[in-house]
Structure 1
Amino acid sequence: MTATELVVEGVTLTAGAHRLVRDVSLAARPGEVIGLVGPNGSGKSSLLRAVYRVLRPDAGHVRVDGADVRSLPVRRLARTVAAVVQEPGAGFDLSVREVVAMGRTPHKRLLDGDTAEDARLIERSLAAVDAAGLADRPFDRLSGGERQRVLIARALTQQPSLLVLDEPTNHLDVRHQLEVLDHLRALPATVLVALHDLNLAAYYCDRLYVLREGAVTASGPPSEVLTARLLAEVYGVSAEVAVHPRTGAPQVTFLPAGAAAAVPAAPPPGASGV
């Protein structure tokens, strides 16, 4: 697994008369973890689908190491890009180990069996997401969180140079959220990930792109992007942003509606307060 460069240049996506994404550009240098954040319907999932070639841009390009993803042969694309999506489709009538082994398909010729190296990668990927104990269970009988971990293991087994993940921490408990993101952070690969949890995004991502109504409204390091003013403008909420004393990352605390107005104003200088 090696890292690759991702460049999105002026991508616009439409569905009928509805514009999903409008003139979006972003870049991920090899080995970076880039986060997409923004409210529901802001275009995050649509943009990711363009990156892993499910949607064709109406304008603009997606380039991996300089090559337009639309021009890549299917096998080369599958060896380069792995995706973990929110809705993986119908359940598989397969064991967990067999589902994870599907990640090795791009690296095989037709009718090739699993090698010892394949088996090693499968076991390592299952262990990385704390799913080794699920290996022999039917995939379609797993809980939502267990399925999510298995699908991440399948993507890891694919050994891509670019990992694209749409809300990979959905359905996961706190422990597994942290374990999965720790592992993604340590990979020798480039990662593009959409996240709802801004505190996780602030800690794990090198840079953030904030989407609103299909367009990039802010981008940069989390410490520069995550401000109370931006959260008010993009999410319509009141929040306080501080630096976490141990991690050094921005820490967002959301305030209930009306909480800011309920805080009494500070007394003027010299007032006794009596």
Structure 2
Amino acid sequence: MQLKTLFTATLAASTASAATIESRDVSAVQQASSNIIDKLGKFTDAVKGLQEGGPPTQYIPLLSTTQDVSTALSNGTDQVNAGTMLNVLEAVQVVGPSMNLVKAANDSIQALIAAQSILESEGLVPMILKQLNSLRTSTENFGKTLVSKVPVAVSPIAQGIANQAVKAVSDGINVYNSADKCGPATGSSSESPLPPGVDPTAIPPPNPAPSSAMPPAEPTPEPSTTLATSAAAATPSGDAGASQAPAPSPSGDAEGMAGMNH
């Protein structure tokens, strides 16, 4: 009789202990989700506080709150992973906080998309993309860990909620990826900046464009000059002496005239 009583008491204590552990696991999931939601809310406020042409200090809260969200997701993943499997009733209790987390993620991403022009004008698109990619990885890890702790019967529901959170972050990445590929509108792409130290005044001007007008006609040479030039060009230098007859000697002509007189 005493053994039966001891066995019953031990079983009751084990059941109570199991219930306590399970309730702690539910609380851990709820606490992790609540902490992430809180950090997402502060991130959303930081994004909505950005102003066109505002001081550079306005971006400090944006960077710090983004890091806070990633840290909360990482810590939440560790908290959930350290717990035991949830039963169906316990899994139902974490659906509400999980849906609130998805809504908070959507609000943050929509605010970030609305502030795209401000961040793009400051050249912060690459930085935002880096933060969003890191945030998506942290969100995926948290969702996978949470899904692994629920029964198979409710696993599809948990997976669907996790996918919604990841999709929200992916939508933001897609928008900023498009902005990164297009780049800021800073003028013609044919213009290239000069290397450092080059004086723009020392660069010679480009060659003038060729004129479509006909060049001026050369002056026509005089006829005598043309004929003389043509004759000189047509007569070979070696035949010049052979074609000319020697001039008669004055003394020879006188002797011939004297012979005729005789």
TM-score of Structure 1 vs Structure 2, range by shorter chain: under 0.3
Q: Determine which structure has the larger strand proportion and give its number.
A: 1
Larger of the two Rg values belongs to structure: 2
What is the TM-score normalised by the length of structure 1? 0.22
Higher RCO (CA < 8 A, seq sep 6+)? 1
What is the TM-score normalised by the length of structure 2? 0.23
